[in-house]
Structure 1
């Protein structure tokens, strides 16, 4: 398992400030407006996923006013019986996450953060992974919640990482650290971005 050192103190403070600001802004957007932004976002995501043509897709249960992709993923699954969707499961605090198959209606207990996850199932390695971004920059680097879960997970996976978030989270610089992994694509309500990093 790769050891992840904490960020330098000055960058840690900057990243924490960016995270808190992004969360505050996003959570202040009315639910109806977020739903409209999510609809625009998924219209762009549709085109990218059609191009990438994965058979398996990882995504995240919406948390703290993130884009809610559940209905879109359910429709993506319904369009082709050969497709598979998966959600992340945190098994250990400082370990990579595993992904388990999700279908609408599957039992979903809450994890330690209060996020639903599939209770059972064999691990899945998604072809494409949709990763929430609180803040992101033009190089494809993101700021999550500070736990390093996605960076640890991506370090050991062969997948296409697609950041998914709202334009309100776009920043000039996320101050990425040594082990941060850039997204290969970022999708917002404004469109699909191929990072230049």
Structure 2
């Protein structure tokens, strides 16, 4: 129970939204509230710096980096998932100068994989995944990100998570909404989660908090950088 007598939320908001979090949210068995607030402040600063650096890259550079990341992903999948036919692979619709991996996804579909995109159907709740294919009808979703217009959902076998930052313990610095962590925590059948991003976004640590969930792998243009196996 929390200090005000209400039950704790199952899916905690991340510390990078500390301004929206009640003081009694923080787990006394893990970190003290001030430490969590300090981490939140540090993450906001690092997130802004990493996003600014990525946005400064030219379109040509981002295209080249996306091709290199796709090559790295091919190598990882060849080792861990040598047969992609009928695998459900969730990617992402690129925003905020993210690397565009949609051409790579389309090539997987040509090999028999089934594609999906993550969707925020309920704010501050786990993501759902809707099937997607090139040319599919789209609509504006949360944050105006295009999402498949269908209401059908699908469970991914592999889910890509775009990285703002990352460390060599398998942790991801994202945009601060906590959606991906909530999704992994709630999953009845957890997908193999691969963080994808830039080698230059590496951090010594993200100072993981109790709700942060390790990825299964981290891939950059330089190849596989971390794996849980």
TM-score (norm 1): 0.94
- Residue in 2 aligned with 1:153? 183
Contact 1:58 1:129 in 2 (8 A): yes
Alignment of 1:122-133 (within 5 A): 122-133=152-163
Q: Which residue of the other structure, out of 204, 208, 214, is the alignment partner of 1:176?
A: 208
Contact 1:141 1:181 in 2 (8 A): yes
CA–CA distance in structure 2, aligned partners of residues 18 and 71 of structure 1? 29
1:49-100 deviations in whole A, cap 9, x for unaligned? 22232511111111111111101100110122xx211001101111101000
Q: In structure 2, do the counterparts of structure 1 residues 119 and 166 end up closer, same or farther at CA, with 3 Å as the change threshold?
A: same
- Residue in 2 aligned with 1:33? 61
CA positional deviation for 1:114: 1.7
What residue ranges of structure 2 are gaps of 5+ in the alignment? 1-8, 16-35
CA positional deviation for 1:5: 4.8
Which protein has the larger Cα radius of gyration, Structure 1 or Structure 2?
2
Contact 1:2 1:152 in 2 (8 A): no
Structure with larger RCO (C-alpha < 8 A, sep 6+): 1
CA–CA distance in structure 1, aligned partners of residues 142 and 186 of structure 2? 23
CA positional deviation for 1:196: 6.7
Alignment of 1:41-120 (within 5 A): 41-53=69-81, 54=84, 55-80=87-112, 83-120=113-150
SS at match of 1:113: helix
- Residue in 2 aligned with 1:17? 45
CA–CA distance in structure 1, aligned partners of residues 228 and 136 of structure 2? 39
Contact 1:26 1:168 in 2 (8 A): no
TM-score (norm 2): 0.81
CA positional deviation for 1:11: 0.5
Backbone CA RMSD of aligned residues? 1.6
CA positional deviation for 1:6: 4.5
CA positional deviation for 1:194: 2.3
CA–CA distance in structure 1, aligned partners of residues 89 and 151 of structure 2? 16
- Residue in 1 aligned with 2:32? none
SS at match of 1:9: helix
What residue ranges of structure 1 are gaps of 5+ in the alignment? none
- Residue in 2 aligned with 1:3? 11
CA positional deviation for 1:112: 2.8
